[in-house]
Amino acid sequence: MINAGIIGGSGYTGGELIRLLLNHPEVTIDFIYSRSQHGNPITTVHNDLLGETDLHFSSKVNRDIDVLFLCTGHGNSAEILTKHPVAPTTNIIDLSRDFRLEGQQSYHQRPFIYGLPELQKNAVQKAKNVANPGCFATAIQLALLPLAQASGLQHDLHIHGITGSTGAGSSLSDTTHFSWRNSNVSVYKALNHQHVTEITQSIKQLSDDFDSELHFVPMRGNFTRGIFISAYTKSGISLENAQSLFKEFYSDSPFVYISPDPLHLKQVINTNKCLLHLQKKNGQLLITSIIDNLLKGASGQALQNMNLMFGLDETNGLLLKPTHF
């Protein structure tokens, strides 16, 4: 059995990760560390787990575990690893953005691999430390990477994305409050989102001469979870050839599917899937991409990476039915 620990288990991604690990056939949870909740039953925060666990939040970190998941806020990972050092043999999966970008992908003697399995499967399988991708970055990269490999991104890219309120974390703010979100949408960080650098880095891995502009407009949606991406660019590739490119690129990716029909978000909620749909009109290729931001965009992808790191089938514990209705 894989002995797992979690630091930062009281938020949305921590809660989803606990749920997944409790139901994983090869994992035992050693501890769930939380500064704010230590001593309290897990179910006082994650009420959906009532009847599934009697675990309590811990104030201690066991250094001798097989894998450590960091589910804390951005910018805290190095400090946490310094304060709570784990054994050199312990694998680390960081769900923050701290180790995703080139030049930042190490902590002391620990190099981190960027953990998008559909791009980096072989590297993840050999890695001891993985930086889990961002949620918007995951959905957008999966929409663009087959074109990048085929040198099909020669023109500016225009991307619109809308995300649910859980993408902002569990702490309340003006824009996550129900009264504000309900029957409402808004743009934020227009053309300046932090995930653009992450996306460009991966595109250049497949197409090192990529120099097109990537125009990304993210939006807050009036729903709780999920990401819906619409990306379009001028393209000389026919729709039939584009569909073939995508199917070939993802032939070894069990969670990515090319849909012949237009998408709707409930198809992926509560799953680790990414669904893609392609359209072509007036020389513009449109790719729509949908994921659950808490699963394929966070905790589900972290578990997928753990499976790969420990030589397991990457679908273990992740064959989940969407909440379609």
Q: 279 has which bridge partners?
A: 286
Instruction: Quote the pLDDT of residue 75.
Output: 83
| pLDDT of 325 | 65
What pLDDT is recorded for position 54? 95
pLDDT score recorded for residue 69: 98
pLDDT at 83: 93
The overall pTM is greater than 0.75? yes
Tokens of 55: 């675990």
Q: What pLDDT does residue 168 have?
A: 61
Residue numbers annotated as active site: 135
pLDDT digits (tens, 9 = 90+) for 85-118: 999 999 999 999 999 999 999 999 899 999 999 9
Residue 244 parent element (H or E):
helix 239-249
Q: How far apart are CA 186 and CA 140, in angstroms?
A: 19
pLDDT recorded at residue 189: 81
- Whether residue 117 contacts residue 305, with contact meaning beta carbons closer than 8 Å, is answered with yes
Alpha-helical (H) ranges within 150-227 are 178-181, 195-206
| Segments in the chain below pLDDT 50 | none
What is the distance between the alpha carbons of residues 68 and 310, in angstroms, rounded to a whole number?
13
Instruction: Count Cα neighbours of 26 within 13 Å in the Cβ-side half-sphere.
Output: 18
pLDDT at 70: 97
Rg (CA), the chain: 19
Q: How far apart are CA 197 and CA 257, in angstroms?
A: 25
Domains of the chain as residue ranges with CATH: 2-132+298-309 (3.40.50.720), 135-291 (3.30.360.10)
